[in-house]
A = this chain, B = another copy of it.
Amino acid sequence: MALTDKPVTTFLDELASDAPAPGGGSVAALSGALGAALVSMVCNLTVGKKGYEDVQGDINDLLAQSEALRRKLIDLLEEDVKAYTGYSVAAKMPRGTDEEKAERKKAMQAALKVATDVPLAIAEAAVKVMDLCMPSAEKGNKWAVSDAGVAVLMAEAALRSAALNVLINLGSLKDEEFVTDRRAKLEGLLEGKGVMRDEIYDYVVSKL
Contacts and interface: CB of A to CB of B under 8 A. Distances in A.
Majority DSSP secondary structure for residues of A touching B: helix
Task: Identify which of A7, A24, A41, A67 gathers the most chain B CB atoms within 10 Å of its CB.
Answer: A24
A74 interface: yes
Copies in the complex: 2
Nearest to A18: B44
A171 B161 CA distance: 32
A80 interface: no
Given A16-B67, A24-B146, A153-B160, 11 more contacts: A4-B9, A15-B37, A16-B36, A16-B41, A18-B41, A18-B44, A24-B149, A145-B168, A153-B157, A156-B157, A170-B208
B8 A37 contact: no
B41 A34 contact: no
B31 A45 contact: no
Contacts of A17: 40-41, 44
Interface string A44-58: 110100000000000
A76 interface: no
